[in-house]
Amino acid sequence: MEDIIDIMKGVGAIITDSHIVYTSGKHGSAYVNKDVLYPHTDLTSKVCRMFAEKYKDEDIDIVVAPALGGIVLSQWVAHHLSAIKGKEILGVYAEKDTDKNLILTRGYDKLVKGKNILVVEDITNTGGSTKKVIDTVKSAGGNVVAACVMVNRKPKEVNSEMMGVPFSALGIFEAGTYEEADCPLCKANVPINTDVGHGRKYLENKS
């Protein structure tokens, strides 16, 4: 089976030797830009089939992911799982409310109640959004069978223990992160990347 990291590198989704500001506010030198993958529908389908193959022996009714990028994943993974298992498996998503919590709307909370759920996500840096989806599904009465991400950036911290459910990743891509005050890239005056991550917003807030 093709390696997820090779696929991501092939479409230019893995950026190294840069100065990135992450969603968490921390800084680092590498970034996995999953948005570069999604326009390539054949590759996206292939990646989501990797998820489906991984969980083909689990009893799953619904695939849930966080919006926005996760919408693509939930649909494709559910599609491939349905084909493999010969039954309809639904794909839904959680979206942010005004407080930036991930909630199930559009009647999806009623769909997940009493069902076996696979949570999928693209990239985990802190694992926060994945954990929020898991907690939201549990609150709605769903049974989270497992959670899986395309790429886990922090395997030591982001794991099954943290998530409270069996957790894994299709691939691992570790890179150091720093608090702004300790960032060696800042100290070396390396320009912040404003094309990906939160660099642009970070600089706007600084000005």
Alpha carbon distance 197, 26 (integer Å)? 11
Domain harbouring 171, CATH code: 3.40.50.2020
* 163 domain-assigned: yes
Q: What is the pLDDT of residue 1?
A: 54
pLDDT 10s digit of each residue in the chain, 207 long? 579 999 999 999 999 899 999 877 889 999 999 999 999 999 999 999 999 999 999 999 999 999 988 999 999 999 999 999 999 999 999 998 888 888 899 999 999 999 999 999 998 888 889 999 999 999 999 999 999 999 998 899 999 999 999 999 999 998 788 999 999 999 999 999 999 888 999 888 887
Domain extent at residue 29 = 4-200
* 177 domain-assigned: yes
Q: What is the pLDDT of residue 2?
A: 73
Sign for the CA dihedral angle at 195, 155, 161, 57 comes to: positive
* 206 domain-assigned: no
Q: What is the pLDDT of residue 98?
A: 85
* 95 domain-assigned: yes
Q: Mind listing the pLDDT tens digit for each residue in 42-53?
A: 999 999 999 999
Q: Is residue 197 within 8 Å of residue 32, measured between CB atoms?
A: no
Q: How crowded is the C-beta side of 182, counted as CA atoms within 13 Å?
A: 7
Alpha carbon distance 154, 157 (integer Å)? 6
Alpha carbon distance 87, 61 (integer Å)? 9
Task: Return the amino acid letter for 202.
Answer: Y
Domain count, the chain: 1
DSSP letter at 150 equals: E
* 69 domain-assigned: yes
